[in-house]
Chains A and B, each alone.
Chain A
Amino acid sequence: MIEWLKGGLILAGTFFMFVAALGVLRLPDLLTRMHATTKAATLGAALIMLAVALHFAQAVVVARAFGVIIFIMITAPVAAHVIGRAGYFVGAQLWSGTVKDELKPNYNPDTHQLESRLAPGDDDPTGSPRHRDSG
């Protein structure tokens, strides 16, 4: 029973990692590539660490395996956020099929801060205040 569970976890983790690698190769854009790597690779590593915890079944190893899982799950979103922000500011090309870039008219590329700059003809009928300096 444990053997089957272990094998299934290893194969599922491997599958998700392969999907992540395929995504980072095939997707057209920095942000979509990050969408593939951060989620699928994190899930794959977590599944394989669960298999490690099942295989050894000692308190020390299980604690360490869960430590790896928690560490990856904490650091992967932070790293994705930081590198996505850096890529946006450096000027990575968005995919030509991108529908909307809501950050583009609203931030100042020099100071890296948000600004409420209304586009011409885009007056706000509700008069709701926009955030300033919340970048």
Chain B
Amino acid sequence: MSIVILLSLAVMALALCLAFVRLFRGPSLPDRVVALELFSSILVGFIGVIAIATDVPSLLDVSIVMALMAFMATIGFARFLERGGQRDD
């Protein structure tokens, strides 16, 4: 079981790195917002795997808050863009 957890943590860290490349390079602001949303989804899975590894069920609350904040951030960025943010950054 521990090797599965190690493997999944490593692959998810790699996925976070790939999403960070898109966050860094993204040609426009919506691309960066999509990368941030992917970040939070991967972090929800990350926290779930860590909850399994450490046997601490309270960590699920952290993942709930993570998902909620990502949703709020996406809605906020979208409102900002539609109300006239930067067109091409």
Give the distance in Å from the alpha carbon of A48 to the alpha carbon of B1 in the complex: 14
Nearest residue in B to A38 (C-beta to C-beta)? B37
Contacts of B49 in A (CB 8 A): 10, 14, 48, 51
Q: Determine if A93 and B7 form an interchain contact, defined as CB atoms under 8 angstroms apart.
A: no
Nearest residue in A to B18 (C-beta to C-beta)? A21
Chain A interface category by residue count: 35 or more
Nearest residue in B to A112 (C-beta to C-beta)? B82
Nearest residue in A to B64 (C-beta to C-beta)? A68
Q: Determine if B45 and A17 form an interchain contact, defined as CB atoms under 8 angstroms apart.
A: yes
Given A41-B41, A68-B64, A90-B81, A49 contacting B48 (CB threshold 8 A): yes
A105 at the interface (CB under 8 A from B): no
Choose one: B7, B29, B34, B51; the contact of A24 (CB below 8 Å).
B34
What is the CB-to-nearest-CB distance from B30 to chain A, in angstroms, rounded to a whole number? Answer: 3
Q: Determine if A90 and B87 form an interchain contact, defined as CB atoms under 8 angstroms apart.
A: yes
Choose one: B16, B19, B28, B57; the contact of A30 (CB below 8 Å).
B28
A3 at the interface (CB under 8 A from B): yes
Contacts of B30 in A (CB 8 A): 30, 83-84, 86-87, 90, 92
Contacts of B67 in A (CB 8 A): 45, 68, 71-72, 75
Contacts of B74 in A (CB 8 A): 79, 82-83
Which positions in B face A, CB cutoff 8 Å?
Answer: 1, 4-5, 7-8, 11-12, 14-16, 18-19, 21-22, 27-31, 33-35, 37-38, 41-42, 44-45, 48-49, 51-52, 57, 60-61, 63-64, 67-68, 70-71, 74-75, 77-79, 81-82, 85, 87-88
A20-B38, A89-B81 are known; give 14 further A-B pairs, CB within 8 A.
Answer: A11-B4, A18-B14, A24-B38, A34-B34, A37-B38, A41-B41, A45-B45, A45-B67, A55-B52, A56-B57, A64-B64, A68-B64, A78-B75, A83-B77
Which positions in A face B, CB cutoff 8 Å?
Answer: 3, 6-7, 10-11, 13-15, 17-18, 20-22, 24-25, 30, 33-34, 37-38, 41-42, 44-45, 48-49, 51-52, 55-56, 58, 60-61, 64-65, 67-68, 71-72, 75-76, 78-79, 82-87, 89-93, 112
